[in-house]
A and B are shown apart, each in its own frame.
Chain A
């Protein structure tokens, strides 16, 4: 198979495992391309992509922009903070105005769950969800799985624990879908206040003891505590959170195996993960960043194949 079964990348839950295989195979080729002296290919020279970021983002936006430029697409960037959204313009009006400029693909981050799905039903462009509220962040989940596959050879049969603020994380849900689709076993670990009640219905076990979770897993994907999404106090203090759910080198040294440490960034150093762990040889955080560009190139390339001439 050399074509995606979906017209948009709205979430991992819409993908088949064959789609993920195709994205990873294509990303392998792009990883080779981005390690050449000249890292650019001309494939998308007649495609225009709009990056619409209604929420703040640094690494996702940069990663998408770099991926688009390395495919030779024309790129326009939009940040809600400096736009007519501030004047009360609706999402559809904003996007339709941008599409009138002949845009083929829209990469969108939005605070509202389902914003990507909504958009895909109302505009004639390929939509890539770059994060919709606390719902999904499919490209992050894809690059996480890709990084696990690269480090451990396969995702199938591996034990992955997602540690931290599951409740406010779009990365967690997409990761759970992606990892299970590829045959991995997934647990979550964090304060009970930060674990959604529905999580067991997804076939995910909850472990509130960090040490037990780390002893069980092959990979710990550590999430950021999303203070900006917290409207109430979910745990007594940052210090207590760090003592119970923070990962430091001492905890890792006391395990009888070497587990892989991941983090989607940005890291609160010293809170969910200490600096020595983040920078250790067990960490693949920077590999995740590098793989993000290759995986996003693959997603954009495969969706662009479906853009009508």
Chain B
């Protein structure tokens, strides 16, 4: 299996700052905005962005939730391996809020569709945006596009985009693997 580095830790750091600044431009003080990271992998990106917004850009009162979408997926009983759920940590409702869904890679769009369904259990938001680190163009199964993207990639279907984070893999990086 061949592996090519798409983004190194420096690239990711620059992208995180750019995404944070774009969020500030559109949401200003975040008093009516919540960030929701999709478990498990999107939560790393969401936590990093939230941390950056708080410490570097001094955003106050930022609300971050982590949402598990396992029970809302449309591939239950279609996969070879059973789906294992992860924890949902949402201690707020999103009624009337501006929601930013955060995930690491946007591929088929099915995870985001599941997230949109799952979020209905927490209220009716005013609007929902999507932020992803990697947007795999030309691979969508559903009409879903990101509002904020770190990098757009034209990977072919045999290729897999792998995001590693320092928290779990000791290194921030994005690779393209040939399956």
Contacts and interface: CB of A to CB of B under 8 A. Distances in A.
- Most A Cβ at <10 Å: residue of B71, B77, B117: B71
A197 interface: no
B83 A2 contact: yes
Contact of B77 (A25, A26, A33, A307): A307
Contact of A29 (B68, B76, B81, B120): B68
A3 B83 CA distance: 9
Identify whether the interface residues of B are mostly helix, strand, loop, or mixed: loop
Nearest to A4: B82
A88 interface: no
A86 interface: no
Interface string A14-30: 00000000000110110
Interface in B64-91: 68, 70-73, 76-78, 81-88
Given A36-B122, A42-B117, A309-B78, A29 B72 contact: no
B123 interface: yes
B15 interface: no
- Most A Cβ at <10 Å: residue of B78, B84, B93: B84
A2 B83 CA distance: 7
Contacts of A3: 82
A192 B76 CA distance: 50
B88 A2 contact: no
B1 interface: no
Nearest to A29: B85
A33 B71 contact: yes
Contact of A37 (B83, B84, B93): B93
B77 A305 contact: yes
B166 interface: no
A141 to B, nearest CB: 23
Interface in A263-304: 301-302, 304
Contacts of A39: 121
A305 B122 contact: no
A38 interface: yes
Identify whether the interface residues of A are mostly helix, strand, loop, or mixed: loop
A41 interface: yes
A42 B121 contact: no
Interface in B18-53: none
A43 interface: yes
Given A36-B121, A37-B123, A38-B121, A29 B77 contact: no
Contact of B71 (A2, A38, A41, A302): A41
- Most A Cβ at <10 Å: residue of B76, B83, B88, B117: B76
A97 B81 CA distance: 32
B81 A37 contact: no
A230 B165 CA distance: 63
A43 B71 contact: yes
B82 A32 contact: no
Contacts of B84: 2
Given A33-B71, A43-B71, A26 B122 contact: no
A26 B70 CA distance: 11
Contacts of B122: 36-38
A32 B71 CA distance: 12
Contacts of B88: 29, 32-33
B121 A37 contact: yes
A2 to B, nearest CB: 4
A36 B78 CA distance: 27
Contacts of A309: 77-78
B71 A42 contact: yes
A250 B81 CA distance: 54
A29 B106 CA distance: 25
Given A29-B68, A302-B82, A304-B76, 13 more contacts: A2-B81, A25-B85, A29-B70, A36-B122, A38-B121, A39-B121, A41-B71, A42-B117, A43-B72, A43-B73, A44-B76, A304-B77, A305-B76
24 contacts: A2-B83, A2-B84, A3-B82, A25-B85, A29-B70, A29-B86, A29-B88, A32-B87, A36-B121, A36-B122, A37-B93, A37-B121, A37-B122, A39-B121, A41-B72, A41-B118, A42-B71, A43-B76, A44-B76, A304-B77, A305-B76, A305-B82, A305-B83, A309-B78
Interface of B: 68, 70-73, 76-78, 81-88, 93, 117-118, 120-123
